[in-house]
Chain A
């Protein structure tokens, strides 16, 4: 049987009687609330709330009884609660003891107004600037530690660095290689479609060579590594922060930057150029395969055309950028890891943030390199 509650108001000579009936529970609270809202009791008359027929009462029901009492008393009615079953009395007393609590009003989010919106833009801008400033500060701290390590090279953690090289370099080869191969295929296919109209199929090789070697290889590798290793750095260091492991390191007299950041940074700086080299190769391989399949350019022709279209510099322009991008990724990943507060939720948030920031900064840096190379006429 579903619980049901009713409330009847009767006007009697010595005052109004509110006759409550049934189950006053959280399940029936909405119904009772509606009935109570519809009641229109005369002001100043005594009111008797008769609970004789209330079978069951829970905190929601007790709250409604007490709220009614409170509201009526506020309007100048004298209120008495009668015939409460003894077994229900402790509950009513308990709820009464918590006092009459009005819920706090829900604050309206500030950015819902025009001024709030403008203010929010300002706040976010300041936040971004502040964050940039802090990352720069962190980079300085790491640079200082690196300088110290140059003076005492024996303190470099070689084993940890090698482990990081394996994890963020060697282990990343299958995924970066496969993706690059596929990108090579896609570019060659799209290029072939366009260039065939002009009978300039052979220039597809130029497109591939310059595109993959100068830009796409290094960008692709960096973006995949930012998603793979940058996020791992934040999550690893962040989890250590949650477990107070970083604090433990400090109390043991170890420098977290030296122990955690430097191996990750060096590991990535050493391996990303190698990955870029591998990625370039795989991209060209995919492109060559597509040229042969779609345009009937065999490998010999492909190599010959490649040699006329690109110089050694084309390759180096791509590879040179890799250590810088690696430094950005490692720096941002580790920095956000240290920002984790002692909650698991912040690990997730900051990991996402680290990946977004790293990719953003890598592309900004790539644009800076493009401008610099064009000024230097490389």
Chain B
């Protein structure tokens, strides 16, 4: 596939983030292509979430430029920023649902803000989104405090998808979920990515997620970023990257993925 300018949906150049005297990012360059799932990994305190927050505009970097969907986000006027913001969705770590609203009302918040439509139709669309993230119908009327952690994340995803965005940012989507729920969530993201044409920017710790759904992986090490395919990272001999992918958990996830692919190939042949 040839690379054209519109194929890059997020372009970060020379990003520097500092908190006090501590430098978290020192010159990060990152390009995210349309339609890919990119996973961001790194040790604790390497600024994975900070990178996500910087791209979506919750944190102002010390230096560098950020371009999302062709728009220079750091120098854009408010109206231009708003126009881009409605084309992305963000899922925060614990869903960040508004606690005083039901799940359906949470999903309707962005719709109400950006579109004018009858309440009945809005309820229908919210109900569709609830189904889309595979929450039971009855969840629509529940308050976030009545949901389990996994359901809150699904509801948060439904809200992030309310306006059918082009990019979704996921901050540790599988953290705190049991392995079955985490695998389900991976499948959900993969399915939705296929049918909704999403570009997925995912901060994660979960090696299984990385192996199962990420097209490329960005590793934050030494205040820089290394973006590559998983296969290339597996051959990387940087000490942290090596111990990350070749530690016991990395090996287990890799073996599981190999088994899955083997089973898939066999099913194809049959």
Contact = CB atoms under 8 A, between A and B. Distances in A.
A binds B: yes
A90 B124 contact: no
B192 interface: yes
B130 interface: yes
B228 interface: no
B194 interface: yes
A103 B117 CA distance: 15
Interface string A141-156: 0000000000000000
B85 to A, nearest CB: 15
Residue from B100, B130, B161, B195 with most neighbouring chain A CB atoms (10 Å): B195
Interface stretch (B73-81, B137-145, B167-175): B137-145
Interface in B184-235: 191-192, 194-197
A107 to B, nearest CB: 8
Given A90-B194, A103-B123, A343-B99, A59 B117 contact: no
Nearest to B161: A59
A27 B163 CA distance: 8
Interface in B118-157: 118, 120-121, 123-132, 134, 137-138, 140-141, 145
Contacts of B137: 101, 104
Given A33-B117, A67-B124, A101 B130 contact: yes
Given A26-B111, A27-B115, A101 B164 contact: no
A101 B131 contact: yes
Contact of A59 (B134, B140, B196): B196
B195 A91 contact: yes
A33 B121 contact: yes
Given A59-B129, A94-B196, A103 B124 contact: yes
A33 B125 CA distance: 12
A102 B127 contact: yes
A107 B143 CA distance: 14
23 contacts: A26-B111, A26-B163, A27-B114, A30-B116, A30-B117, A30-B121, A33-B117, A59-B128, A59-B132, A59-B161, A59-B164, A63-B124, A67-B124, A91-B196, A93-B195, A95-B128, A98-B134, A101-B130, A102-B124, A103-B104, A103-B120, A104-B137, A107-B141
Given A26-B164, A107-B141, 8 more contacts: A30-B118, A59-B132, A90-B195, A91-B197, A95-B128, A98-B132, A103-B104, A345-B100
A63 B128 contact: yes
Interface residues of B, number: 37
Nearest to A27: B115
Residue from A29, A60, A90 with most neighbouring chain B CB atoms (10 Å): A60
Contacts of A25: 164
Contact of B131 (A98, A106, A343): A98
A68 to B, nearest CB: 12
A29 B118 CA distance: 10
Interface of B: 99-100, 104, 111, 114-118, 120-121, 123-132, 134, 137-138, 140-141, 145, 161-164, 191-192, 194-197
A106 B116 CA distance: 20
A29 B132 contact: no
A29 B115 CA distance: 9
A103 B129 contact: no
A109 interface: no
A94 B191 contact: yes
Nearest to A31: B117
Given A26-B115, A29-B121, A343-B99, A98 B128 contact: yes
A76 B241 CA distance: 62
A27 B121 CA distance: 12
Nearest to B104: A103
Nearest to B191: A94
Given A67-B124, A94-B191, A94-B196, A345 B132 contact: no
Interface in A71-103: 90-91, 93-95, 98-99, 101-103
B132 A95 contact: yes
A101 B128 contact: yes
A58 interface: yes
Contact of A343 (B125, B129, B145): B145
A205 B14 CA distance: 74
Contacts of A104: 104, 127, 137-138, 140-141
